[in-house]
Structure 1
Amino acid sequence: MARKNKVRIAAMADIHVRHTDQGLWKAHFEMLSTQADVLLICGDLTDTGRADEARVLADELEACSIPVIGVLGNHDCESGIQDEVIDILNKEQVHILDGESVIIHDIGFAGVKGFGGGFGQHMLPMWGEQMNKDYIQVSVNEAMRLDRALVRLESKSSGLKKIVLLHYSPIPETVKGEPEQIFPFLGSSHLAEPLEHRQVTAVFHGHAHLGTLEGATAGGIPVYNVSQALLLKEGFSPPFYLFETEP
């Protein structure tokens, strides 16, 4: 049997596009389109979640000739108009996933922003003040939304490979390098549960600019922190991580 062609997935995060960034990204996206088949942007697409920033990014992404898949980050929610940001960015070739999934090149992609809460035995419990319960409930809800997106992919094809996009980390290993005091704000082990249960192929996230490039869930699923600042620190120029997989 002939070997299937590999799909090249470029992943990046935390690009923080500002309203003054017109023309700064077009050459980057044109070049990237020659080296990958799909581009993932794992949150903090904009700097403050403003509509004018989203429009600049939408214009810049027109230079990208490959499909683009993204999720929101915390910065994209800062102005409280994240639904408008999604509407501006969603186009024929651009898919901003917020609890949804999409199949491209016979690979399933599912994404949510995720949220904080901490990891393992240090994960914040859902007790005490209502505001603390509400905080953890957001993380639980994001994990449930991710699980539903993965279920929808499985319903379309039981053998489909699944790639997950997050902004917040599902494991502590890829946020190491950041101060331990802020780990609860960088991700949550709740996000790892659907990854293990649905046996995804790989996970990409951002948010932890001073974190660690590679890690894995307890079950061995590879997790990559593709924050732009981290990739630059690790010597990736231009700052994107290239992952290859067969459909």
Structure 2
Amino acid sequence: MKSNMEPSDGKLRVAAIGDLHVQESDTAPYRELFTEISQAADVLVLCGDLTNFGKTTEAEILAEDIRTCSIPVLGVLGNHDFECGQPEKVAEILHDAGMTILDEQAVEIEGVGFAGVKGFMGGYGRGELAPFGEPIAKLFVDEAMNEARKLENGLRSLRTERSVAVLHYSPTEETLEGEPTAIHQYLGSQRLADAIDRFDHVKAVVHGHAHHGKYEGRTPGGTPVFNVAQFVLKPLFGKRYAVLEI
């Protein structure tokens, strides 16, 4: 697997970007970028926080830019897309524009499988919150476990030799380096990594959310993880998206 712009025989070029944060005041904010990506990659993956507040108008602005893509577009929602309490409406608008929202489904494109979920908080290792005590604490953990279950089910449904797990929250602390340690538990969950590490066919994981994190890391089982929040990519590569060859 490479992380450059040159195509390789038998490889699928996957462009990934997270944390678009489209606002109501934006005018075609990603149209030019999506046109560029359509020439540089075979698939575009969007890793959540597609809108800034989950507003219908924000989703409609992004939808118009998605319609200009000449390659398949797929991805997941992020926590910002839930802010207005209408994530289903946001997903519907983006779906109508041609984007595949992974959450409850997995897809195959040119021999590469894609499964994904938003993910959730919960922490890592000894700092992972357990389902114990107050009912509200158990509900919190149950949400993290449910997201991990959905991811595992999606990955299990794939019959490809190569696949990509698409997330918003991080499955590993390694790509959170640069964020305050005190908030790591709010930026992801090791339960996501546990689901990923059950499958040898997962060749890469992409996520966003950690604006000040690190680009590369691995799950405990060794699967490569890439933080593709555009705020991480731009200083490193001079562009707001990464291209992985899978």
Same-fold status (TM-score > 0.5): yes
User: What SS does structure 2 have at the residue aligned with 1:70?
Assistant: strand
What is the CA–CA distance in structure 1 between the aligned matches of 2:212 and 2:235, rounded to whole Å?
9
1:109 to 114, 130, 154: 114
Q: 1:238 Cα deviation (Å)? A: 2.4
User: What SS does structure 1 have at the residue aligned with 2:120?
Assistant: coil
Partner residue of 1:16? 21
Is the aligned partner of 1:55 residue 2:57?
A: no
Q: 1:18 Cα deviation (Å)? A: 1.0
Is the aligned partner of 1:180 residue 2:181?
A: yes
TM-score, structure 1 length as denominator? 0.93
Q: Which runs of 5+ in 2 are unaligned?
A: 1-7
Q: 1:92 Cα deviation (Å)? A: 6.8
- Is residue 28–residue 62 contact of structure 2 (8 Å, CA) maintained in 1? no
> Aligned letter for 1:41?
L
What is the CA–CA distance in structure 2 between the aligned matches of 1:19 and 1:114, rounded to whole Å?
26
Give deviations 1:74-132, integer Å, cap 9, x for gaps.
00011110001111001474111113211112111001000000001111111121111
Partner residue of 2:241? 240
Partner residue of 1:122? 127
Partner residue of 2:225? 223
What is the CA–CA distance in structure 1 between the aligned matches of 2:144 and 2:173, rounded to whole Å?
15
Two-structure CA RMSD over aligned residues (Å): 1.3
Q: Which runs of 5+ in 1 are unaligned?
A: none
Partner residue of 1:81? 86
Is the aligned partner of 1:204 residue 2:206?
A: yes
- Is residue 100–residue 149 contact of structure 1 (8 Å, CA) maintained in 2? yes
Q: 1:177 Cα deviation (Å)? A: 0.8
Q: How many equivalent pairs are there?
A: 238
User: What SS does structure 2 have at the residue aligned with 1:125?
Assistant: coil
User: What SS does structure 2 have at the residue aligned with 1:204?
Assistant: strand
What is the CA–CA distance in structure 2 between the aligned matches of 1:99 and 1:208, rounded to whole Å?
24
Is the aligned partner of 1:169 residue 2:170?
A: yes
Partner residue of 1:192? 193
What is the CA–CA distance in structure 2 between the aligned matches of 1:206 and 1:92, rounded to whole Å?
22
Once the two structures are overlaid, the 10-residue window that deviates more, 108-117 or 3-12, is 3-12
What is the CA–CA distance in structure 2 between the aligned matches of 1:24 and 1:222, rounded to whole Å?
30
Runs of 4+ in 1 over 2 A off after TM superposition: none
Q: 1:64 Cα deviation (Å)? A: 1.2
What is the CA–CA distance in structure 1 between the aligned matches of 2:150 and 2:28, rounded to whole Å?
35
- Is residue 174–residue 211 contact of structure 1 (8 Å, CA) maintained in 2? yes
- Is residue 19–residue 48 contact of structure 2 (8 Å, CA) maintained in 1? yes
What is the CA–CA distance in structure 2 between the aligned matches of 1:108 and 1:60, rounded to whole Å?
25
User: What SS does structure 2 have at the residue aligned with 1:22?
Assistant: coil
> Aligned letter for 1:5?
G
Is the aligned partner of 1:67 residue 2:72?
A: yes
What is the CA–CA distance in structure 2 between the aligned matches of 1:162 and 1:95, rounded to whole Å?
16
What is the CA–CA distance in structure 2 between the aligned matches of 1:93 and 1:107, rounded to whole Å?
19
2:146 to 133, 141, 149: 141
Q: 1:4 Cα deviation (Å)? A: 4.6
